[in-house]
Amino acid sequence: MKKNYSLKAAIICIMLIIGFITPGWAQNEEIIYQTGFEASEGFIATQTYNNTTPYLSGTTVQQWGSVYGTPSTTSPIIGGQSMQMRWYYSSAPNTFGYAYTNFDLANVTKVNFYAASTNSVNVIVSYSTDGGTTYVGDSTIILTGSSTLYTYHVSTNGSYGSVRVKFTVSLPTPVPTSNSRLFIDNVTIYGMSGGVATPVFTPSAGLLTTPTNISISCASPNADIYYTTNGTAPDSNSTLYTLPFNISTTTTVKAIAYVGDTASGVATAIYTFPVEVPNIAAFRAANTTTSATIYKITGDVVFVFRSGNNIYIQDNSGAILIYDSYTPVITTTYNEGDVISGGILGSYTLYNGLVEMIPVQNTAPSTSNIGLITPTEVSIDDINSNYVAYESKLVKITNVIFAAGTYTTASATNINFYQNGDSITCRNVFKTLDMTIAAGYNADVVGFPLRYSTTNQIAPRGNAKFSQ
């Protein structure tokens, strides 16, 4: 009898243990983070690739850092942007570009990503469990194609509570004899979750321009969802989700689901509303360095000129260059003098001394046209002594004398011209000038004042903007 009782008790205990542990310990591998480094995800592309301090870009709480690298619109693998890192053969041969997650993810198992490179450059992938102080698990992945999916494994069972991932340029053998690039795109990070599905937000995270209702769902039956709207981690003491809720300002929403005592992973969605400014001057005044913040110029602006990625607009307060991506965001067609209403949305970038707006949303069709834009007449001294007041504005400089040179549609050539002892560079930015200029050529010039580093320039729209 004693043996039978002991056996029965043991069986009951095992059943109880299995019944208790299974729900709590059942784990599923699922996607816990994804990015394609797109502008719509908060990544601001630049053309500065030799930065020695980390450039941070992305959403506020999930930013990526990059050194000798940046989100870039140049030769993206997928979409309009990729993360690009560089190695400079002669100027910085001992510095290898890298990019990393400047945030922690829990229970990471593996990382899928697309990669490509020039000059057969490879990539070292590593991870940190101490907030980025040290990185371990170095794995050199040999890149075999121009756009190939690769997988890097961190932990089979997702045993680390805090993980950051890093991608670094790795040189092949023999070492390249020219500058080289590494491209990373469509990074998908997987992690272990409990048996309860992670909540899903509708709409998904991103830019919102009007007050919006947020819905949260969970694929697990009988799940209770709890959420926060202040960026703190949710638990069963947080607000119980019952109905969609409305947001009208930039908000970080986090949600967790429970079935009984078993919790899901935490879902995070950052909804960004643009900072509204009334005009171009206010947009310019809002920043002095490149920023991921999205602004909306609410007042009407006037379209002046477009050449490829370069769009020039102005209003009564000033002017600005909108630098569109290689996959254009602004696809609406305009004529000179068209009034654009409804707002211009974009971020602030300072590119080698030139203020640019990087658009994140297409603009509305024109509501009216005020006719051809009359250029503001200025002198070279006006531009050189008060450049900010005229940057990207259509101006006219009269009675100037050119140095000798030749413009062609094949290159952005520089030729200086002079007025009253002052000089400025006339640059064929749009590659629309096609003429040979003799020394002493006298003309009036209509164009846009621009700056590259500390050099002021004028960018004419074409031959017709020179008049003798």
Domain count, the chain: 4
Radius of gyration of the chain (CA): 28
Q: Is residue 342 part of a domain?
A: yes
- Within this chain, do residues 175 and 44 fall inside the same structural domain, yes or no? yes
| 132 and 175 share one domain | yes
Query: Do 177 and 225 belong to one domain?
Result: no
Number of alpha carbons in the 13 Å side-chain half-sphere of residue 441? 19
Residue 14 domain-assigned (yes or no): no
**301 and 240 part of one domain:** no
Domain-ending residue, one of 369, 394, 423: 369
Q: CA dist 173 to 120, 122, 144, 177, Å?
A: 9, 10, 14, 11
CATH of the domain at 105: 2.60.120.260
Which CATH number covers residue 416?
A: 2.40.50.140
pLDDT tens, position by position, for the chain (468 residues)?
Answer: 333 434 434 433 433 333 333 333 356 788 889 999 998 899 999 988 988 888 999 987 789 999 999 999 998 998 889 999 999 998 889 999 999 998 888 789 999 999 999 999 999 999 998 778 899 999 999 998 677 899 999 998 887 767 899 999 999 999 999 999 999 999 999 988 656 777 888 887 778 989 999 999 988 899 999 999 998 889 999 999 999 999 999 998 989 999 998 887 777 788 889 999 999 999 999 988 888 788 999 999 999 999 999 999 999 999 999 998 766 889 999 999 999 998 999 989 888 899 999 898 899 999 899 999 999 999 999 999 999 999 999 999 999 999 999 999 999 999 999 999 999 999 999 999 999 999 999 999 999 999 998 899 999 988 765 654
Domain co-membership, 183 together with 238: no
Q: What is the pLDDT of residue 7?
A: 41
* Model pLDDT, residue 413: 93
Give the DSSP H/E element, type plus range, for residue 22: helix 2-25
State whether 386 and 447 are in the same domain.
Answer: yes
Let me know if residue 211 belongs to a domain. yes
Cα–Cα distances in angstroms (integers) from residue 79 to residues 186, 205, 327, in the given order? 9, 18, 8
Are 394 and 342 found together in one domain?
no
Judge whether 16 lies within some domain: no
CA angle, residues 352, 354, 356, in degrees to nearest 5: 115
Residue with structure tokens 């991103």?
206
Query: Which pLDDT score, from 0 to 100, does residue 333 have?
Result: 96
180 and 75 assigned to the same domain: yes
Query: Can you say how many angstroms the Cα of residue 342 is from the centroid of all Cα atoms in its chain?
Result: 23
User: Domain end: 248, 272, 296, which one?
Assistant: 272
Q: What is the pLDDT of residue 21?
A: 30
Which pLDDT value is given to residue 389? 95
Question: Domain range for residue 385?
Answer: 376-467
Q: What is the pTM of this model?
A: 0.64
Is 134 domain-assigned?
yes
Same domain, 329 and 235: no
CATH number at residue 330: 2.40.50.200
